[in-house]
Amino acid sequence: MSTNQKFDVAVIGAGSAGFSAAITAADEGATVALIGYGTIGGTCVNVGCVPSKALIRAAETLHIAKAADRFDGIEASAKVTDWQAAVQQKQELVDDLRKAKYSDLLPAYDSVSYIEGEAAFFEDGKLSVGGDIIDANKVIIATGTRPALPSIEGIESIPYLTSTTALELETLPESLLVIGAGYIGAEIAQMFARAGVKVTIISRRGLLPEAEPEIGKALTEYFENEGITLISGISYDRIEERSGSVVLTVQHDGKPREISTEKVLIATGRAPNIESLNLGAAGIDINPLGGVKIDERMRTTRENVYAAGDVTGHDQFVYMAAYGAKIAAKNTMYSSSLSYDNSAMPAVVFTDPQIASVGLTEAQAKQQGVDVRTSVITLDNVPRALAARDTRGLIKLVADGETKRLLGAHILAPEGSDSIQTAVFAIKAGMTYEELGSMIFPYLTTVEGLKLAAQTFDLDIKKLSCCAG
C-alpha cells in the first residue's frame, strides 16, 4: 500500500487489542492503518492463552488418570509417550487460530490497511513506520507486553526459559526451577510437574500473593501434594551456570541457600513494549507500572493519541485488552464519550483447582473503608464436589456489612472458571448476598456453591437439607 493515504485512525499493534480497535473503528466508518510488527495475532493466540491452555489440558489428563483411584473399583493410567507430538499439536492449533481469527480477517475489511513495520513517534506527534510517515488523525497504541527479567545478578548470562520458550520445549527436562509465583508461573509449573518434571517454585511472597490468603494457602497445599516444591520468603543473591546446571543462590531464613536445576523459567511479570515508540519525544507519559499512562477514556497525555491493552500495564487479560480497545476506537470517533469500567472484571488462573475471581478482595475492601463481612465455605459443603470425590477448594464472598451488597467473589474449584460469571452478574447488578442466596440454582453443580456461600453469611448450611435454601 502507499503510505501517502490519509487515515482516520492508526492502530499500532496487531494483537487482540489492535485488531479489536481496528475492526471497531472500521465498523464505525473509519479508514484504518493497522500497523503490525512481528508475528500477527499478538500474545494470546501465539504465545499466551491458547498454547498454555492447550498444554495444561494435555497434562491434566495425566493427573486425572493418577487420581482415578479416588473412586472405588476404578484404576487408570496415563503417561507421556511423545511430548514433542503434544507440542506440535499445540502449535497446529495456534497456527489455525492465528489464521482464522487474525490474518484471514483482514480481507473482510476494505477500510483497514495492514502495514508491517516498527512504528515510532516524532516530536510533533506524527507517526512513522520504517521512516515513512503515516498520516492519521488519531492514533491508538496497542503494542502489548513481553516477559520481564527480574533483578538478579547473572540473570542475563544464563540460558533461561520464558513463558514463550517454555511452551516450545519439545523435550521435557528432568528438573525445572520457576522464578515467580504469579498466575503464569503457577500454571506452567503445575503443567510441567504433571508431565513428570521435578518442579520447584521460588518467590519472595509465596504462591499467588495477590489472591485471597485462604486461596493461596490451599493451593500451596495442593501443589505440594502433587510433588511441587515451593520456597518463599527469600531474597535473591545471584544465578549462574555450573557444571551443566543452573544454580540460584538466595538468602532464606537468614542463610544462603543454593538451588540447582536443569532449566530455569522466568515468570516474574511482563514489560510493556514501548521502547521503540519514542513516546517521550511525543509527550506521551508513562505510568508507575511502566506502561502508557491513560485516563478512564483511554486517552494518553498527548491529544488524539489513545492506548489500550497490556501496554498500559493494567488488567492484563486478553478480553480486557479487546474491551479497552473498543472503547478507545469509539472514543476516537465520538469525542471520548465512553469510559473504561473494570468493576466487574472476571479473572481466572488455570491451575487445578482453578481460581476465579471478580470484584474486591477482603483486603481491598478494607482499604476502601468498607465495613467488611466475609463468607467462606470449603468444597466439602458442595454436593457436586462430594459426588466428584474431589473437595479441593473453597468459595469466599466479600460484602458490605451495612448494605449487604456483594463486593467480591473468589472461587477455588476444579470447575471454578465456569462459575464466576454468575458472580459477575450479581456484582454488576448490585445484588446483596441475601438476593444471591435466595436465587434458584441447579443442584449438583459447582456454581451452586455461590448460593451456599451467600447463605453462609447468616445460616449454618450444614443444618439445611438438599436444596432447602
| 269 is an annotated ligand-binding site residue | yes
Do the beta carbons of residue 114 and residue 41 sit within 8 Å? Answer: no
Phi and psi torsions of 9, nearest 5°: -140, 135
Do the beta carbons of residue 278 and residue 121 sit within 8 Å? Answer: yes
Cα–Cα distance, 301 to 286 (Å, whole number): 9
Cα–Cα distance, 316 to 398 (Å, whole number): 23
Cα–Cα distance, 63 to 52 (Å, whole number): 17
Q: Which helix (H) or strand (E) holds 430?
A: none
Do the beta carbons of residue 203 and residue 290 sit within 8 Å? Answer: no
Do the beta carbons of residue 62 and residue 195 sit within 8 Å? Answer: yes
Cα–Cα distance, 408 to 423 (Å, whole number): 8
| 181 is an annotated ligand-binding site residue | yes
Burial 89-101 (b: 16+ CB within 10 A, else e): ebbeebeebbeee
| 443 is an annotated ligand-binding site residue | no
What beta strand segments (E) does 122-244 contain?
A: 127-129, 132-141, 145-147, 175-179, 198-202, 229-231, 234-242
Cα–Cα distance, 353 to 211 (Å, whole number): 14
| 214 is an annotated ligand-binding site residue | no
| 263 is an annotated ligand-binding site residue | no
| 114 is an annotated ligand-binding site residue | no
**Hey, what's the cell of 466?**
438438599
| 18 is an annotated ligand-binding site residue | no
| 185 is an annotated ligand-binding site residue | yes
9, 39, 221 from 217: Cα distances, Å: 48, 39, 7
DSSP result, 35-86 = EE-SSTTHHHHHHSHHHHHHHHHHHHHHHHHHTGGGSTT-------S-HHHH
Give the orientation angle of helix 83-101 with respect to helix 49-66, to 10 degrees: 140
DSSP count for the chain of H helices, then E strands:
13, 21
| 184 is an annotated ligand-binding site residue | yes
Residues in binding site for NAD(+): 180-187, 269
Residues in binding site for FAD: 53, 310
Residues in binding site: 53, 180-187, 269, 310
